Amino acid sequence: MIKILIIGAGGQLGQCLKTVAERRNINEIVSPPEAEANILDQSGLNALLAKEKPKFVINCAAYTAVDKAEDEADIAKAVNETGAANLASACAAHSATLIHVSTDFVFEGNEVKLLIEDDVAKPINVYGQTKLDGEIAVKNCLDAHFIIRTSWLYSEYANNFVKTMLKLGAERDELGIIADQVGTPTYAIDLANIIFDIIQSQSTAYGLYHYSNEGVTSWYDFAKAIFEISETNVKANPIPGSAYPTKAKRPAFSVMDKSKIKQTFNIEIPYWRNSLEACIQQINNSNKL
């Protein structure tokens, strides 16, 4: 059996990984609480890996508060860069392969084109910069790594855009939703599945990969789909990003090309709306709002 250690198991992706592992009968999963898996504690990480001896480590721990990061740059840098470096170093010391999750926010997003892994990364906010620095740290510390950039992550777990829209849609008659930022939603259950596919392939095709669901949409059209699928009776109005200013700038267009991950691991990726339907069904079934 392949032993897998999940860092940041209490977050959205960590919970999805545990759900998918259960569905797929993957039993050799270790998901310690944050106190035992603090990525800022290098000696603690080394002790954890020495004790558990995992073959794979999945890093779901990250500072993801995009706007707050503008005021807490030091904390974001510590978690997203230093923490990633600490974990990669521990993996190197204990012969473990690291799967590290990154973001489309490493891109400037000012050009309408599908973004490939070799495109120049040029973040326009602190969060994106710290995630890019984390990618570089992982590459510098450890050869046996898979870095997966994803986008617009949501699920039935934790706080995310889908659950926020469902809550607000139930409370209000109208909502203004940004229509001039374009990307691709990613159902975290789908991302968890591809992570386990990579592990079970036992591939050594290490490096950087892009993964999101298939298709392209705006936040406005994403919200419209959420309301249609959930039969939520609320009027969604398209607004420009300038009408809803945020502390951190967002990429205007950050649709990633997934050809590399599809070809390398011979996978098919679900269309974003189909995955959204599956998520909303899970939310309805489990009452996870």
Beta carbons within 10 angstroms of residue 38's beta carbon:
17
> Both tokens of residue 158?
């934790």
Annotated catalytic residue, options 63, 127, 209, 220: 127
Strand ranges (DSSP E) for 105-160? 145-150, 153-154
Q: Distance between CA 86 and CA 46 in Å, rounded?
A: 9
Please enumerate in sequence order all residues whose Cβ is within 8 A of that of 158, keeping only pairs 6 or more positions apart, or say none.
Answer: 11, 12, 15
Distance set, CA 254 to CA 40, 154, 258 (Å):
30, 16, 12
Question: CB of 98 within 8 A of CB of 89?
Answer: no
Q: Active site includes 157?
A: no
Element (H, E) at 13: helix 12-23
- In the block, tokens 């590399």 appear at 260
**DSSP code of 143?**
S
Closest of 244, 233, 186, 241 to residue 211, by C-alpha = 186
Q: Which amino acid is at 12?
A: Q
Closest of 31, 19, 35, 78 to residue 58, by C-alpha = 31
Active site residues: 127
